[in-house]
Chains A and B, each alone.
Chain A
Amino acid sequence: MNNAALLPIAPEVILLAGALIVILLLVLLDRPYREGGIVAMAALAAAAVASVLQWQALGDGADNLYFSAQGVPVPRLPMVVMDHYSAFAGVVIFVVSMLGLAVAWRLVLTLGARSAEFLTLVLLAVAGLHMMTASANMIMLFIGLETASIALYVLAGFTRERANADEAAVKYFLLGSLASVVFVYGAALLFAATGSTAFYGAGSMREFLAENIVAEPAILLLAMGLVIVGMSFKVTAAPFHQWAPDVYQGAPSGIVGLMAAGVKIAGFAALGRILFSALPSQIDDWAPALAIIAGASMIIGTVLAAVQDDVKRILAYSGVAHAGYILMAFVAGNEGIGSMWFYVTTYALTVIGVFAVVAVVSGSRSGSSPLAEWSGLSSRAPVLAWVMLIMLLALAGIPFTTGFVAKVTVFTAATDAGYLWLMILALVTTIVGLYVYFRLAAVMFLEGPAGVEEVVVPPTTALVLAVAAVTTVLLGLLPWPLLDLAREALPL
């Protein structure tokens, strides 16, 4: 097996190696907390580079598109797929994870000897997230999902001196495993209906559905429904979103950004992998279901975000609404993949930035972030308040930010696919959503300062905020480079 044959699994191998080095450092060196963090960052960066190399190899016409065991005829049972879709997902997930880890940097340093475990779990979670997007088989996807979930359950309850973090972990765990079970039951019924767990290759789901007309499609419909419901849990689409506000509020602020952004990217990418690659022939069945979930998410997310008094809960419900907007891209099928990628990427960058500000204002170990802590932020930390304002404008979808471009692209995709009602609904919830974000902005800019204590922005967080703010504005003004790449990032 030559080196090029290993390229499809290079990111996972790098991340696993990084995780093991972090553990070894703890044994070999005295208090290697900072060094461990640097190794973890380097592993994420190397994985991102590997994904870029994958993209380039594909442009040069790589012939190792699948990774499977030696001696197994490859298109028979591929396990890992390398295409523009997985390479794009890799770059986005790894870069966002680097930013997320930079926000958590302060948290890592305060954890002492536990920082090695923290970093290992982050690396394993990221590897699992990328595995979800690069799977060519339902069981592979499930294993990736579980790797990420198990690591994130523990991370949600990591700072255990607070009761909140415990509760967040319990809720996250019970509802998360319920979602996993629903998902894998859908996979089992898909296997029963199509006789395969593979997405690609001879006898795969896709081939089976392309060649056979399913006379009694009941089990197939049900299986697709269960898979969609299971993934909706993970990406916090309504009505399967109930865990998100509690978990976001309970988990340490330093890591919530990574949890929220990473799981959303991977969840949507995995859902897209299943629907676009394995079940493209059934689009007339799954698109209306997704449209309904999207509509419900937009309404529920927007309305409930307007009545919350905790910034993390507001952002959680805003995430529900944004999950609805992203699902709008799915109803357009293959045409919507580009807009899905653009929305997911820019939203993830914004969310990382927003939670970085939350971690600064409320402290990276703390759970809740009541609105009162935010009042008069503009006079205590003007730069921070303005950066937050840029992010909020992007979340609200104001022109000259990425949020606007992203919304326009998904709205166009849904309209072109014939879902005019969904587009109108999204327009209405966007306008209502303005209230949510301007309410927070008003608290920051118009109310008197909540206290006199100085707001300290750690240098790593400042870097993340700079990256997030610059990309939000720059890609809002000049979205074409990213849009072109996103439109190229199609699954096989």
Chain B
Amino acid sequence: MIVTPGWYMALAAVLFSIGGAGVLVRRNALVMFMSIELMLNSVNLTFVAAGTGLGLIEGQVAALFVIVVAAAEVTIGLAILVAVFRGRATANVDELSSLGG
């Protein structure tokens, strides 16, 4: 079995950019958040691919920590989104306009 870590990291770069585009372009808070999850996943792919390429276990351990922290972030993020949008029947951030920013 052989692998080419460079290809995996290039794919991670693609996924990271797609996620970044999603955050910048989309206005639906849930979709923006999903894009951020996509970016986090590409971070994990980079960690693991680099670890495999260098023959180090650290890459996988780092990816596991990122997964745990990201899961905690998802909990809080969705709790915030649900608390905010429960009464509004929309998840469009542009309708959050009373701050004028």
Known: A169-B80, A174-B33. A184 touches B73 (CB 8 A): no
Provide the bound-state CA to CA distance between A167 and B98, in Å. Answer: 8
A143: chain B residues at CB < 8 Å are 65, 69
A to B contact number (C-beta, < 8 Å): 113
Residues of A within 8 A of B36 (CB): 174, 177-178, 181
Stretch binding the partner chain, chosen from A48-56, A242-250, A255-263, A374-382: A242-250
- A177-194, CB under 8 A of B: which get 1 and which 0? 110110011011101100
B60 to chain A, nearest CB (A): 11
Q: Is the CB of A184 within 8 A of B43?
A: yes
Which A residue sits closest to B9, measured CB to CB? A192
- Asked whether, in the complex, the Cβ of B50 is within 8 Å of the Cβ of A246, the reply is no
Contact check, A173 vs B42: say whether CB atoms are below 8 A apart: no
Query: CB-CB < 8 A to B84: which residues of A?
Result: 157, 166-167, 169-170
Tell me, rounded to whole Å, the shortest Cβ–Cβ distance linking B100 to chain A: 8
Which of B46, B72, B81, B83 interacts with A150 by CB under 8 Å?
B72
Question: With an 8 A cutoff between CB atoms, is A153 at the interface?
Answer: yes
Contact A191 B80 (CB under 8 A): no
B9, B16, B54, B69: the one within 8 Å of A142 (CB): B69
CB proximity of A370 to chain B, nearest CB, Å: 11
Which residues in window 126-166 of A have CB below 8 A to B? 138-139, 142-143, 146, 149-150, 153-154, 157, 160, 163-164, 166
List residues of chain B with CB within 8 A of the CB of A180: 73
Report chain A residues within 8 Å CB of B51: 191
Interface residue? B11 (CB, 8 A): no
Q: Please tell me if B14 contacts chain A, counting CB pairs below 8 Å.
A: no
Among B60-99, those with CB < 8 Å from A are 61-62, 65-66, 69, 72-73, 76-77, 80-81, 83-84, 93, 96, 98-99
In the complex, the chain A residue whose C-beta lies closest to that of B46 is A188
A149 to B83, CA, bound (A): 18
Smallest Cβ distance from B79 to chain A, in angstroms?
A: 8
Closest chain B CB from A243 CB (angstroms): 9
Contact B72 A146 (CB under 8 A): yes
A196 to B80, CA, bound (A): 35
Task: Decide: B54 and A185 in contact? CB cutoff 8 A.
Answer: no
| Chain B hits for A191, CB < 8 A | 47, 50-51, 58-59, 62
B58 near A192 with CB under 8 A, answer no
Residues of B within 8 A of A164 (CB): 98-99
A174 and B23 contacting across the interface, CB-CB below 8 Å = yes
Chain B residues positioned under 8 Å from A174 (CB to CB) = 23, 29, 32-33, 36, 93
Are B80 and A153 closer than 8 Å at their CB atoms?
A: yes
Interface size on B, residues (CB 8 A): 40
Q: Find out whether the CB atom of A188 lies under 8 angstroms from the CB atom of B62.
A: yes
Bound complex: CA A225 to CA B79 (Å):
32
Closest to A184 in B: B43
Q: Is the CB of B77 within 8 A of A185?
A: no
Q: Does A197 contact B (CB under 8 A)?
A: yes
The docked-state distance in angstroms from the alpha carbon of A412 to that of B72 is 44
B101 near A245: Cβ-Cβ < 8 Å: yes
Shortest Cβ distance from residue A253 to the other chain B in the assembled complex, whole angstroms: 14
Query: Inside 8 A of B23's CB, which chain A residues have their CB?
Result: 174, 178
CA distance A160 to B54 in the complex (A): 48
Residue of chain A at shortest CB distance from B72: A150
- Whether A168 lies near B46 (C-beta < 8 A) is no
Q: How far is the CA of A125 from the CA of B83 in the complex (A)?
A: 21
- Name the one of A153, A171, A242, A249 contacting B96, with C-beta atoms under 8 angstroms: A171
A160 to B62, CA, bound (A): 36
**A288 an interface residue at 8 Å Cβ cutoff?**
no
Give A181 to B73 CA distance when docked, in angstroms.
Answer: 11
A249 to chain B, nearest CB (A): 6
- Assembly CA distance A180 to B74 (angstroms): 13
Given contact pairs A181-B39, A184-B43, A242 touches B80 in the complex (Cβ within 8 A):
no
Chain B residues within an 8 Å CB radius of A142? 65-66, 69
- Are B98 and A185 interface neighbours, CB within 8 A? no
Kindly state the separation between the CA atoms of A465 and B96 in the bound complex, as whole angstroms: 34
Contact A170 B93 (CB under 8 A): yes
Cα–Cα distance between A196 and B32 once the two chains are bound (Å): 31
Contact partner of A181 (CB less than 8 A), chosen from B43, B50, B93, B98, is B43
Contacts of B53 in A (CB 8 A): 192
The CA of A166 and the CA of B62, in the complex, are separated in Å by 33
Q: List 12 A-B contacts (CB under 8 A).
A: A142-B69, A154-B76, A170-B29, A170-B93, A173-B77, A177-B33, A180-B73, A188-B43, A191-B47, A191-B51, A192-B49, A192-B50
Q: Contact residues of A with B, CB < 8 Å? A: 138-139, 142-143, 146, 149-150, 153-154, 157, 160, 163-164, 166-171, 173-174, 177-178, 180-181, 184-185, 187-189, 191-192, 195-197, 242, 245-246, 249-250
* Sample of 7 more A-B contacts, CB < 8 Å, known A167-B98, A170-B81, A246-B101: A146-B69, A170-B80, A177-B33, A181-B40, A185-B16, A188-B43, A191-B58
> Closest 6 A-B residue pairs measured CB to CB?
A192-B50, A246-B101, A188-B46, A166-B84, A167-B96, A181-B39
